[in-house]
Structure 1
Amino acid sequence: MSSMENVQPSSPRPTPSSAVTVGGGTPTVDFARGKGVWLWDRKGRKFLDCTSQSWALYLGHAHDEIQQHAAEVMRSFWHVHQGFATDSREEFAEKLLHAVPRNEHRDIYAKVAFTATSGLAIETALKLATLNRPGRSLVGRVQGGFHGTTLGTAQLSWPATDDVPGNRRSLSAFAHMGVSSVTLSFPDSNPDIDDVARERAIAVMNLELDAVADKLVAVVVEPLQGSGGQREVPVWWLNALIRRADKEGFTVVFDEIQTYLRTGRHYTQPELLRPHFIVLGKGLCGGFAAGAVLLRSDIDGFPGGGTYDLHTFGSSALAHSVGIKQLEIIDRDDVLNNVKHRGVQLRNASAQMCAQATVFSEIRQVGLHVGLRVCAETWQQRASLAATVRMRCIDAGLVVGLGGYDPSIVKIKPPLNITADETSELISRLTEATAKVPV
Structure 2
Amino acid sequence: MKHSSFAGSAPDLARRSLLKGVGLGAVALAGVPFLAACGGSGGSTDSKSLTFGSGSSDDVPKRAYEAVMAAFKTKSGDSVTANVVPHNDFQNKINNYLQGSPDDAFTWFAGYRMQYYAQKGLLAPVDDVWEKIGGNFSDALKKASTGADGKKYLVPNYNYPWGFFYRKSLWEQKGYTAPKTFDELKTLCAKMQKDGLIPIGFADKDGWPAMGTFDYLNMRLNGFQFHQDLCAHKESWDQKKVSDVFDTWKALLPYQDPAALGQTWQDAAKALEAKKTGMYLLGSFVTQQFTDPKVLADIEFLPFPEVAMEGQEAVEAPIDGLLLSKKGGQNQAARDFVEFIGTPEGQNAYYKVDTSNLPTAKGADISGFTPLSKKLSETIASAKNISQFFDRDALPAMASNVMIPALQSFIKDGSVDVKNLESQAKALYAAQ
Fold agreement, TM-score > 0.5 = no
Larger radius of gyration: 1
Which structure's relative contact order is higher, taking Cα pairs within 8 Å and 6+ residues apart?
2
- TM-score, length-normalised on structure 2? 0.27
Q: TM-score, normalised by structure 1?
A: 0.26
